[in-house]
Homo-oligomer: A and B are copies of this chain.
Amino acid sequence: MSVVKSAPLEPAKRRHQTRQRARILAWLRETHSHPTAAQTHEALVRELPNLSLGTVYRNLEVLVSEGVIGEVPSAGGGVRYDGNAKPHHHFICESCGAIDDLHIQAPPELARKLRRARGRTARRIRIDFYGLCESCEPPRLLRGLG
């Protein structure tokens, strides 16, 4: 048996703060798009010339696990990241794949419906609206002439 070390209370995990992670988070927050890991790397490699793609992946993973950023499963199967940690929903363009944040609340009715249907409680509800964004929507003239 091993003796329990009387170490001082320590946080879940000791983390160093690094320039790389700080820049990744900052850029993710000032960007309103929802970039992939590769896009994040591409955007930052100018100011951190030897930032490696692996580092980007690792740090995105860390930030997600800390709940500082969010993941958005995107259309093409890839994962995208979202610098906005506050719960919100998305409008996703079926044509160009653009993702737009929606700051609307899920109606409490939904939680009730779930409880009725399954007796379960949702810790989180995610709502994705699919449609055509403003740029991809064909102009009215071509649509509703009849």
Residues of A within 8 A of B (CB): 73-74, 77-79, 91, 94, 100, 102-104, 107, 109-110, 113-114, 117-134
Copies in the complex: 2
Interface of A is mostly: mixed
B126 touches A114 (CB 8 A): no
Contact of B134 with A123 in the complex, beta carbons under 8 Å: no
Give CA–CA (A70, B91) in the complex, Å.
19
Which of B73, B77, B107, B130 is in CB contact (< 8 Å) with A124?
B130
User: With A and B bound together, what is the CA distance between A103 and B114 in angstroms?
Assistant: 10
Nearest CB in chain B: distance from A91 CB, A: 6
Q: Are B127 and A127 in contact (CB under 8 A)?
A: yes
Write out the residue numbers on chain B whose beta carbons fall within 8 Å of the beta carbon of A131. 120-124
Q: How far is the CA of A122 from the CA of B104 in the complex (A)?
A: 14
Cα distance A136–B126 in the bound complex, in angstroms: 20
**In whole Å, how far is A19's beta carbon from the nearest beta carbon of chain B?**
28
Q: Chain B contacts of A122 at CB under 8 A?
A: 91, 129-131
Smallest CB–CB gap between A82 and chain B, Å? 15
Task: Tell whether A120 pairs with B91 under 8 Å between CB atoms, given A125-B128, A130-B125.
Answer: yes
A-B CB contact pairs (8 Å), 16 listed: A73-B74, A73-B77, A77-B77, A77-B78, A77-B79, A91-B118, A100-B118, A102-B118, A104-B113, A104-B114, A107-B109, A114-B129, A120-B129, A126-B128, A126-B129, A127-B127
